[in-house]
Structure 1
Amino acid sequence: MQLRLRYNYRVYPALGQQEALARAFGCARVAFNDGLRARQEARKNGEPYLSDGELSKRVITEAKRTPERAWLGEVSAVVLQQAMADLNSAYRNFFNSVMGKRKGRKVAAPRFRSRKDNRQAIRFTRNARFAVLDNGRLRLPKIGDVPVRWSRNLPAEPSSVTVIRDAAGRYFASFVVQTAEDETLPSNEAEVGIDLGLTHFAVLSDGTKIAAPKFLRRAARKLRRLQQDLSRKQRGSNNRQKGCRQGGEGTCEGGRHPAGLAAQAVHGDHPRQPSGVRRGPVRGRSRPDPTRQVGTRCGLGPLHRHAGVQGHPVQAHLRPGGPVLPVPPACAPTAAGSPISWICRPGRGTARAERPTTETSTRP
């Protein structure tokens, strides 16, 4: 049984090679969009579905002869052919999903690619005659010899390579390799026990200790530096967009990056707070917001731990104009002198406010 494996490596193209890759990304995107537009117009005009061969001839071969698309010949033809192969595969998946032949969730129709997409990729097959040179560089047609950081050797000759540019501007080479049948490893008499821990990443039975890599704290320090640099850039500028791609705001779409949450967890600042509690001007302290109301289920578990560990006073407003009740740091069963009892459920890390069965009420 043969297996198809994928190996990813970091590549470092020079400035001229980056321009050539950007040109190849753009040509592949234009070929994909032209093919998609041609099929959409054919469907709109009631014409038959364009076959793969007819579409490739119209979008690539005939388009190169026109002045508007003559620059498609500046890149490898395999890049354009693989872009059309991706379009054909997207249509097949869409049709199979509509007819129920494809398992899993429904697949939408192909959409146009944008130059603003965070991920750009092109693929070279063996027909493109790419090669891994003896000096460790990757030779790509009409791009050049690109340096590669080889973290491990390829088990066999690759059948294709995909060059990827991510949102942070990094370049990667992804090789597809077909391996032979699984081979059983030779027997070995040596044995060792491994104990995973917190202080040390692992402790072996022979006494060897492996230090913890601490990826989280290193990423948190880097994220803090990037966010500081990002705060000094003008909103809407290109430099701020570059800082956004580097991780200053997590993602360019305005989403929350996991590293941002990790950095707040390292520094002890929980990202989520209940409504009615907002951050004050002093770091680590909170003050109530009289314009917002907390319901009976306020979910103050993270703030309980925050106040209990670091001793930060936290307060919550029950309703606009109502009394301000301090949250017990250790989840005390009842707030003295208040008709509200704070109940902490063990193991869940949340708290809920309940009114006791007395005639006392805080309603006007």
Structure 2
Amino acid sequence: MITVQRAYKYRFYPTPEQAEQLARTFGCARYVYNHFLKVRTEAWYETQKRVGYNDTAKQLTALKKQPETLWLQEVSNVCLQQSLRNLDTAFKNFFQGRAKYPTFKKKQARQSVRYTTSGFSYRAGRIKLAKHKEPLTIRWSRRFTGTPSSVTVSKDSAERYHVSLLVEEDVAALPFSKQETGIDLGLTHAVITSGGKKVNSHHYFKQSEKTLARAQRHLSRKQKGSANRAKAKLKVARIHARIADQRLDFAHKLTTQLIHENQVVAAESLQVKNLLKNRSLAKAISNVGWHQITTMLAYKAQWYGRSFVQIDKFYPSSKRCHACGHLADAMPLSVRQWDCPACGTRHDRDVNAAKNILKAGKAILAGADKLREHENTTAGHAGG
């Protein structure tokens, strides 16, 4: 049994008054983020001075008292402070090489604000936000245990409202399984396992491509700023939202099955961002959602006491014979089956790659276990 933080996302339907208050909150949080992004950028370029979170928090207090920005007091201060924390995190990610330089937030994009414990109340299964008179009307599609530590309210481009609750829960490890699998990520098949199972890729974007193209043509004919253009834009956004929901549902079901069935899951490390630069494959790669699948496998394995390992991206899993270890000189993508010249074993390209990925993954885990055992032994001698 381990304690983990889990996020539960639910759809909710605001009243007109709540929608107006949320729009005001989204706008204020966005304004604060953009304002202090400009302040921090100008401070660096003009005086080479770094402005941190504490500095911006002090400036925010003064900003709320200025006559031209008194309207910032109409929303919860908790959301404005969290906006500053998000900006600070964006800068930290940039300086540590994990993300690009922060950019200004747009009104047309997805909007979200975060409430910590002082900004909302949770009683008898009802959530009431600060500055709101009534609790939110939430569609409780799943149960959770514990008390939410934070609440994130969002509105997507399809004008759907969601609330995400962060809670701490005790999760029991799954019973030990003797099964282990390596997975090769593909395009025609989303996942090919070392056991020979091939999971077809569901082409959700392709299924909606004609409908989406028609909606986009209608949008292009509408006059900018008109009500009809807003309606057409919403229709396009809803098609994109449906496709994203389908991909997410597929990834959750696939990864949950893999984690429940196998004690060890090994996968390859892929530089998805670089692969998406290939114009011929970008659409197919995005449709499968490789990064989404590996991310889910990582945290679900941690939750349920499984082992998930990713091998080096340069490991020649497709060119190596899993039976004897012979390494072929070349293996074009057009070759789907091949015979090993050393031992004569006939290989399905993808299944062979998955078997090699499993072998390499188990070797990495074994090395990690030996290192951990050595460290424990060393620590024991030092303590003695």
Task: State TM-score, norm by structure 2.
Answer: 0.50
Instruction: Please state how far the C-alpha of 1:89 moved relative to its aligned partner.
Output: 0.2
Secondary structure of the residue aligned to 1:122 is: strand
Aligned equivalent of 1:139: 128
Q: What pairs up with 1:56-135 in 2 under 5 angstroms?
A: 56-58=57-59, 60-97=60-97, 106-116=98-108, 118-128=109-119, 130-134=120-124
CA spacing shift, 1:87–1:232, aligned 2, 3 Å: closer
CA spacing shift, 1:233–1:109, aligned 2, 3 Å: closer
Q: 1:68 is matched by which residue type in structure 2?
A: E
Superposed CA offset, 1:48-87 (max 9, x none): 21121111111x2001110011111100010000000000
Q: What pairs up with 1:300-339 in 2 under 5 angstroms?
A: none
Q: Does 1:22 align with 2:23?
A: yes
Superposed CA offset, 1:165-218 (max 9, x none): 0011010001111112x32579xxxxxxxxxxxxxxxxxxxxxxxxxxxxx8xx
Q: Does 1:177 align with 2:178?
A: no
CA spacing shift, 1:233–1:11, aligned 2, 3 Å: farther
RMSD: 3.8
Q: 2:45 is matched by which residue type in structure 1?
A: K
Instruction: Please state how far the C-alpha of 1:140 moved relative to its aligned partner.
Output: 0.5
Aligned equivalent of 1:33: 34
Aligned equivalent of 1:155: 145
Contact 2:6 2:168 in 1 (8 A): yes
Instruction: Give the count of matched residue pairs.
Output: 220
Contact 2:117 2:150 in 1 (8 A): yes
CA spacing shift, 1:107–1:18, aligned 2, 3 Å: same
Q: 1:22 is matched by which residue type in structure 2?
A: A
Contact 1:233 1:239 in 2 (8 A): no
Contact 1:28 1:122 in 2 (8 A): yes
Superposed CA offset, 1:319-338 (max 9, x none): xxxxxxxxxxxxxxxxxxxx
Aligned equivalent of 1:49: 50
Instruction: Please state how far the C-alpha of 1:230 moved relative to its aligned partner.
Output: 5.2
Instruction: Please state how far the C-alpha of 1:242 moved relative to its aligned partner.
Output: 2.6
Contact 2:10 2:138 in 1 (8 A): yes
CA spacing shift, 1:249–1:173, aligned 2, 3 Å: closer
Aligned equivalent of 2:311: none
CA spacing shift, 1:41–1:249, aligned 2, 3 Å: same
Contact 1:244 1:251 in 2 (8 A): no
Instruction: Please state how far the C-alpha of 1:133 moved relative to its aligned partner.
Output: 3.6
Provide the rounded CA distance (Å) in 1 between the counterparts of 2:114 and 2:235: 25
Identity of aligned residues (%): 35
Instruction: Please state how far the C-alpha of 1:227 moved relative to its aligned partner.
Output: 4.4
Provide the rounded CA distance (Å) in 1 between the counterparts of 2:335 and 2:92: 52
Provide the rounded CA distance (Å) in 2 between the counterparts of 1:92 and 1:231: 39
Provide the rounded CA distance (Å) in 2 between the counterparts of 1:249 and 1:161: 24
Contact 2:52 2:88 in 1 (8 A): no
Secondary structure of the residue aligned to 1:45 is: helix
Contact 2:146 2:169 in 1 (8 A): yes
Q: Does 1:3 align with 2:4?
A: yes
Superposed CA offset, 1:214-264 (max 9, x none): xx8xx96xx59x949958984433322332223379569xxxx959xx9xx
Contact 1:227 1:248 in 2 (8 A): no
- Find 2:228's aligned residue among 222, 239, 264: 239
CA spacing shift, 1:258–1:12, aligned 2, 3 Å: closer
Provide the rounded CA distance (Å) in 1 between the counterparts of 2:54 and 2:139: 38
Q: 2:138 is matched by which residue type in structure 1?
A: V
Q: What pairs up with 1:165-244 in 2 under 5 angstroms?
A: 165-180=155-170, 182-183=171-172, 227=215, 234-236=222-224, 237-244=226-233
Provide the rounded CA distance (Å) in 1 between the counterparts of 2:20 and 2:82: 20
Provide the rounded CA distance (Å) in 2 between the counterparts of 1:239 and 1:250: 17
Provide the rounded CA distance (Å) in 2 between the counterparts of 1:53 and 1:174: 27
Instruction: Please state how far the C-alpha of 1:47 moved relative to its aligned partner.
Output: 4.6
CA spacing shift, 1:232–1:25, aligned 2, 3 Å: closer
Aligned equivalent of 1:318: none
Secondary structure of the residue aligned to 2:47 is: coil
Structure 1 unaligned blocks of 5 or more? 98-105, 187-215, 263-344, 348-364
- Which structure shows the bigger proportion of residues in helix conformation? 2
Contact 2:28 2:80 in 1 (8 A): yes
Provide the rounded CA distance (Å) in 1 between the counterparts of 2:107 and 2:150: 24
CA spacing shift, 1:232–1:40, aligned 2, 3 Å: closer
Q: 1:77 is matched by which residue type in structure 2?
A: N
Contact 2:158 2:238 in 1 (8 A): no
